[in-house]
């Protein structure tokens, strides 16, 4: 019996030593000390032992059980410590490693050009004004001398909320709102998003940006308009820039003109960029129509003014030599990172 117990103990020790995980160790415990374990089997066999030997054998069994339990406990503790050690090592943060830098973006090319244009006009004493993108038909058309059946309304077809409310096709309504306030003189630009029901292609989009400007004061003449636009063009495209005014028609100005700037690539000699013309069309302008002044409560006998409008995207595309307007709206990082 003593030999049998010794054998069990050695086998248990061997299996404990081979256990590299806590779950394995638990299996060993069940195999030897559990209800159906080997040591329990020995106790069950005690009925064959003589009465006088029973206490001695019982004590031996208990001793063996205790030895195995102690060994199990020791090994369990060692395994737990090793595991903790491993976890600590694995989860250690090396604070001396260089930090990963957050990705920083930059202003969109449209925004860069917008701020540049705003700076130029602010430096000439202009105020930057804002207005609603959802606008009354009255402010967008009627008050700008474009009555219901005017053909210009076709060219600026837009999105209607209802018969009287629409998405503005130009930022001119902001000018009407400023004129209505009746504070004179006025020297303002109105940059902002505008809408047209255009199909998307390389040069059109149903949503784009305009910067419109207006000056109203006593004694404002066409010469003031030309001087202002020349200064603006030089600041934006370079000091050598010349401008050319071609007669045109807009309902809200009279006389009206379209403005070309000398090509800033070839200086006016003609190149691929200006399609051999030497000139590039950039904006529309004119003297504010007396009727527009009247409708806003300004006396055209006493006051006069000029207005102009330029497409923000038009300038951005020119300045950065981008040949497709859609690229400005797709927000492809690979494209935007080039600026
Ligand atoms: Zn050119």
**Residue range 2-30, pLDDT digits in tens:** 788 888 888 888 888 888 888 888 888 88
Question: Distance from the CA of 262 to the center of ligand 1, in angstroms?
Answer: 8
58 in Cβ contact with 42 (< 8 Å): no
73 annotated among ligand-binding-site residues: no
Q: Is residue 115 part of a domain?
A: yes
Is the pTM higher than 0.85?
no
Here the CATH number for the domain that contains residue 141 is 3.30.930.10
156 plus 303 within the same structural domain: yes
Give the pLDDT band (50/70/90) at residue 254: very high
Whether 100 is covered by a domain: the verdict is no
Which residue range is the domain that position 13 belongs to? 2-90
- Residue 183 belongs to some domain of the structure: yes
CA distance 29 to 9: 12
Ligand 1 centroid–CA 281 distance in Å is 12
User: Is residue 98 a part of any domain in this protein?
Assistant: no
Cα–ligand 1 centroid distance for 327 (angstroms): 23
**27-36, 187-196, 202-211: the lowest-pLDDT one:** 27-36
d(CA 172, CA 300): 18
Question: pLDDT tens across 206-245, in order?
Answer: 999 999 999 999 999 999 999 999 999 999 999 999 999 9
pLDDT category, 163, cuts 50, 70, 90? confident
- Residues 288-299 have pLDDT tens digits of 999 999 988 999
pLDDT tens for each residue of 132-145 = 999 999 999 888 88
Together in a domain, 297 and 178:
yes
Domain count for the chain: 2
Note the pLDDT of residue 125: 96
> What CA–CA distance (Å, rounded) separates 318 from 287?
26
- Last residue in a domain, options 90, 120, 148: 90
Among residues 90, 119, 139, which one ends one of the domains?
A: 90
d(C-alpha 321, C-alpha 310), whole Å:
17
pLDDT(203) > 90: no
Distance from the Cα of residue 313 to its chain's centroid? 19
Residues 24 and 145 in one domain: no
218 within some domain: yes
Does 128 lie in the same domain as 6? no
Same domain, 86 and 233: no
Instruction: Provide the mean pLDDT of the chain.
Output: 90
How far does residue 289's CA lie from ligand 1's centre (Å)? 34
The answer on 187 and 232 residing in a single domain is yes
Q: 264 C-alpha to center of ligand 1: Å? A: 7
For residue 238, the CA-to-ligand 1 centroid distance in Å is 14
C-alpha 273 to ligand 1 mean position (Å): 5
In degrees, rounded to 5, the angle at the alpha carbon of residue 243 between the alpha carbons of residues 240 and 245 is: 175
């Amino acid at each position: 019996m003593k030999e049998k117990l010794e054998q069990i103990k050695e086998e248990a020790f061997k299996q404990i030593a081979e256990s590299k995980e806590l779950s394995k160790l638990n299996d060993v415990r069940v195999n030897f000390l559990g209800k159906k374990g080997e040591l329990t089997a020995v106790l069950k066999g005690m009925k064959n032992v003589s009465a006088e030997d029973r206490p001695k054998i019982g004590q031996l069994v208990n001793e063996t059980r205790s030895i195995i339990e102690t060994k199990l406990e020791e090994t369990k503790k060692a395994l737990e410590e090793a595991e903790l050690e491993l976890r600590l090592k694995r989860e250690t943060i090396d604070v001396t490693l260089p930090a990963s830098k957050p990705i920083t973006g930059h202003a969109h090319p449209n925004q860069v050009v917008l701020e540049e244009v705003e700076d130029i006009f602010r430096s000439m004493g202009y105020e930057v004004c804002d207005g609603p993108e959802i606008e009354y038909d009255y402010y967008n058309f009627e008050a700008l001398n474009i009555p219901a059946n005017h053909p210009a309304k076709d060219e600026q077809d837009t999105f209607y909320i209802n018969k009287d409310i629409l998405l503005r096709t130009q930022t001119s309504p902001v000018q009407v709102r400023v004129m209505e306030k009746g504070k004179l003189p006025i020297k303002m630009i109105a940059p902002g998003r505008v809408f047209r029901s255009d199909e998307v292609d390389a040069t059109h989009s149903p949503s784009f940006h305009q910067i419109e400007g207006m000056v109203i004061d006593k004694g404002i003449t066409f010469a003031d308009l030309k001087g202002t636009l020349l200064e603006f063009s030089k600041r934006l495209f370079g000091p050598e820039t010349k401008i050319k005014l071609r007669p045109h028609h807009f309902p809200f100005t009279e006389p009206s003109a379209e403005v070309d700037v000398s090509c800033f690539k070839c200086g006016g000699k003609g190149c691929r960029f200006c399609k051999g013309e030497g000139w590039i069309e950039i904006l529309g302008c004119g003297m504010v129509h007396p009727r527009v002044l009247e409708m806003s409560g300004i006396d055209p006998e006493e006051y006069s003014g000029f207005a102009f409008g330029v497409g923000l995207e038009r300038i951005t595309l020119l300045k950065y030599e981008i040949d497709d307007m859609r690229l400005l709206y797709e927000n492809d990082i690979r494209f935007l990172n080039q600026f």
